[in-house]
Structure 1
Amino acid sequence: MNKKLLYSLLISGAIRYFISISKYSRSIENHVEISTPLNSFKRLKEGVFLYDNGIDPYDGDIFHESPFILIAANFLLKNFGEFISLILIIIDLLSAVFIYYGSKSISKRNYERQQLEVSTYAKGTEEIQFSKSDIDNIPFICAFAYLFNPYSILNCVGQTTTVWSNFLLSVVIYSMSKNMKFICLLALAFETQKNFYPFVLIVPIALAFSENDKSKNLKRIITVVTFASIFGLLNYIAFTYMGNWKFLDSTFGFIIHCRDLTPNIGLFWYFFTEMFDHFRELFLYTFQLNTTILYLFPLTFTFKESPEFLLTILLSLVTIFSSYPCIGAIAFYMSLIPLWKRCSPFMSHNFIVIATFIVTSILGPTVYHLWMYANSANANFYFGVTLVFCTSQIFLLTDLCFAYLKRKFCLTNGVTFDKTMKLSLE
């Protein structure tokens, strides 16, 4: 293993551990930016308690995790209850390891693609081309961006089940980069059963697995059908174990219908708090279409030659627009952005985005405290901050998309303007 990566794992693991045993861990666990009705550790323990006492945890409106998370949590809390925090830290560090090796394979693949096309590139574009050193540098930057991101650290200390989600998604990326189709589809099926929205990632995954195949369309259809079969089988196993289908409504139904309007860093809660009931279904399905398939087809047609970039963008979009977002999920997609460091010269909003992230990350918890505990603010203040926070993420993604397209254009046409052409136009 890379020494720099090993040292980073040890240091970031120590940071997570010492914060988790500090007096601040309890307050971190209760923050709405970290814990939501979908990933709360308290709700997970409540579900396990109900299950142990012969009560179906899906009968009420407390537990919304998948049955497999219930089974795993039940086993861990019974046998390793004192080490849950340490186990979650190890899982989080493993996510970074998978991000590192997945990014390494993706960087190598990007470099090999470039070598096949380099003869068509314009002169003077060496600075925006992938270099051989990127194969080693970019993976470490991606892993470092995850390990030391305050969002991922707080998410791990808060003991949310998003730690499990990030691990599954890291396995998806690693196995996709290594052409391990079954493991990739299995991990995606588990994550889809938990969070619903990641099903859109099957599109870039199908594109990636059919990249070097002559019968591409057939291979893509087989990949999608295989994923649907695995997903259906997992749900049937869950039905067999639980004895009913109630978990479907408590997981997918809860996510789609957004039944809990507890404040979070997303856009759903405030909008549907103010919404008239007779308009609710119209706007609910509009919001859900916006989160899932609205951008899927245009982005697929635009970035189909780079399934990894498409996966990064789609994962970012479903994280931003999901009904119960949290900072832990944001930390994961942010760790993938360094994969496209060669696009950075064309990104024009870096300072605005970084400054907005910092300001809203500090202002959000402050305004929430003023609203809930000091009674000197209201919901409009907090939603204003979260709206700006979401806008900064959208700026980041649109800037990255345009930078990718600009880089692609400049590789073929050159970075500098043709002076003779400019004079002739004048």
Structure 2
Amino acid sequence: MTEKTWSPTSRPTVSASYAFPAMVAVRLLVALVQPFDLIHDHQLSSPLTSYRNLQEGIHLFRNGIDPYSGGVFRHSPLYLSLFSTLIPKSKTFSAVLWTLCDALGAYALVHIWRARQGLGKHAHSTRDELVAGAYLFNPYLFLPSVALSTSSFENMLALLALMFASQKKQSKALLALSFLLHTSLSSLVLLAPVLLLLLSDPHSHLASPRAFSGDLKRLPSLMAEFLLYFSFLAVASCLASGGITWVSQTWGASLTLPDLTPNTGLWWYFFTEMFDHFRPFFLMVFSVHLLIYTAPVCIKFQYDLLYASFVLFGILGIFKAYPTLSDPGLFITMHVLFPEVYPYLRYPIVTALLHLHASLLMPLFHNLWLAQGTGNANFFYASTLVFACANGAAVIDALWAGLRIALGEEKEGWVIAQE
């Protein structure tokens, strides 16, 4: 078997040390130039992440009007307090802020990779720049960031929670997870793998499955600390917004789907055509359907909770109520953390072609329907179904590869640090 290896103790070269700042600078340049107006694109932002809705909420708040009374503003009060008091509404500053947010997400992804490889604090992997570049230049992540979608903040918080959990920094991981759930309730599916990751190690055990060996007696204390942070943020949100109206308008939106604005997900068109007396039942079915994957995935990959988190990111990108391109984009980027499974992927070319097909169809049909007026909702929804098939194929392939590697068939690939 031909092996590709790297030295965990190798020092960064001069060119490597400047690679990350150079990539961030390129991202910032494109964000400042903004050759296209992407802020109003339904593929890049949703009612829960739209920059336009965020601006409207801030304007109402500054004028003494409850921003949650109109049914348009659905961002967390944490965003409201941050952007209305500390952050000016300058477009240039916003581009800088979103770029720095993505830079922090890429930094977290690199450190997750290092933790998985067991690299020391000052060690450097030859793959670090590739990991960072995969995050910074993935168009599914890059374009929503240019459109100033707050999904970039959600991805950053998710990666920070995983990074701190991989580094066994318990309080920081639980605090980042609390912020994530306040801004995106659908991320509840990540609660179990992050808690269990704090009790295990992040190294690859896909090739050598074993029973979970963490101390489950610590789980109640971890859950109590998480609930403490979560409750504190909830109280802070109530104080910032002046009441509890925000709960139904933010968290409730992910459960009741009050806004049927088109997006890249599967919910909006289905509930547009739904008879009202069937609506509560199918809302329950769709919500439960998203949550039922958590336990089976965590149980099956109990020996590699980082990989379980990766799979759940993929499922979240498919079945989330208000997804954007950045949700499956994060799952696609996280493939770079698991090079050991590459030889076991069954249909990577088919999956890539499906994504290419969907990435061409969605903007085309979106434009035909909403800009040209020569199409209808069926056009765009058909393209999102292709996109869902592409994401589903990627998740199934990842599950197959993660299970197949345990059978021990020798293939050309990477040597991964294991403990």
Q: Which of the five TM-score ranges fits, normalised by the shorter chain?
A: 0.7 to 0.9
Q: Say which SS state the counterpart of residue 385 (structure 2) adopts.
A: helix
1:205 aligns with 2:215: no
The structure carrying a bigger helix percent of its residues is: 1
Could you tell me how far apart the structure 2 residues matched to 1:230 and 1:283 are?
A: 32
Tell me if structure 1 keeps the 8 A contact 2:164–2:173: yes
Please, which of 102, 105, 117 is the counterpart of residue 115 of structure 2?
105
Which residues in structure 2 correspond to 1:260-339 (within 5 Å)? 260-292=259-291, 294-339=292-337
For residue 75 of structure 1, give the secondary structure of its aligned residue in structure 2: helix
1:163–1:328 Cα contact (<8 Å) kept: yes
| Inter-CA distance 19–141: structure 2 relative to 1 (3 Å threshold) | closer
**Counterpart among 88, 92, 95 of residue 105 in structure 2:** 95
User: Relative to 1, partners in 2 of residues 1:21 and 1:415: Cα closer, same or farther, differing over 3 Å?
Assistant: closer
Specify the alignment match of 1:19 in structure 2: 30
**Rounded Cα–Cα distance in structure 1 between residues aligned with 2:359 and 2:92:** 31
Q: 1:138 to 1:10 in 2, by over 3 A?
A: closer
User: Highest CA radius of gyration, 1 or 2?
Assistant: 1
C-alpha separation in 2, matches of 1:388 and 1:14: 34
Q: Take 2:335 and 2:15, find their aligned partners in 1: how far apart are those partners? A: 20
CA distance in 2, matches of 1:4, 1:38: 40
Please state how far the C-alpha of 1:37 moved relative to its aligned partner.
0.5
The residue identity in structure 1 corresponding to 2:267 is F
Do 2:76 and 2:183's aligned partners in 1 also have CA atoms closer than 8 Å? Answer: yes
CA–CA distance in structure 2, aligned partners of residues 403 and 245 of structure 1: 45
AA matched with 2:166: S
How far residue 225 of structure 1 moved from its aligned partner, in angstroms, is 2.5
Q: Which residue pairs with 1:191 in the alignment?
A: 180
**Residue type at the aligned position of 2:184:** N
Instruction: Describe how 1:74-153 pairs up with structure 2 within 5 A.
Output: 74-78=84-88, 82-108=92-118, 136-153=125-142
Among 376, 382, 402, the alignment partner of 2:374 is 376
Matches within 5 A, 1:148-187: 148-187=137-176
* C-alpha distance after superposition, 1:127-185 (max 9, x if no partner): xxxxxx9x824544322211111122211111111121122112112111110111111
Q: For residue 342 of structure 1, what is the aligned residue in structure 2?
A: 340
Mapped to 2, the partners of 1:158 and 1:356 lie a distance apart of 24
Percent of aligned pairs sharing the same letter:
27
8 Å CA contact 2:345–2:398 kept in 1: the answer is: yes
Alpha-carbon offset, residue 232 of structure 1: 1.6
Contact preservation (8 Å) 1:319, 1:329: yes
Aligned CA RMSD, in angstroms, stands at 2.4
SS at match of 1:47: helix
What is the rounded CA distance, in whole Å, between the counterparts of 1:207 and 1:318 in structure 2? Answer: 19
- Counterparts of 1:382-401 in structure 2, within 5 Å, are 382-401=380-399
One-letter amino acid matched to 1:53: N
> Are 1:51 and 2:70 counterparts?
no
TM-score by length of 1: 0.86
Structure 2 counterpart of 1:20, one-letter code: A
**Structure 2 residue runs without a partner (length 5+):** 1-10, 202-211, 413-419
Give the letter for the 2:33 counterpart: S
Q: Structure 2 CA distance, aligned partners of 1:356 and 1:409?
A: 29
Q: Distance in 2 between matches of 1:227 and 1:5?
A: 38
Give me the TM-score of the superposition, normalised by structure 2: 0.87
Distance 1:215 1:33, change over 3 A: closer
Match of 1:63 in 2: 73
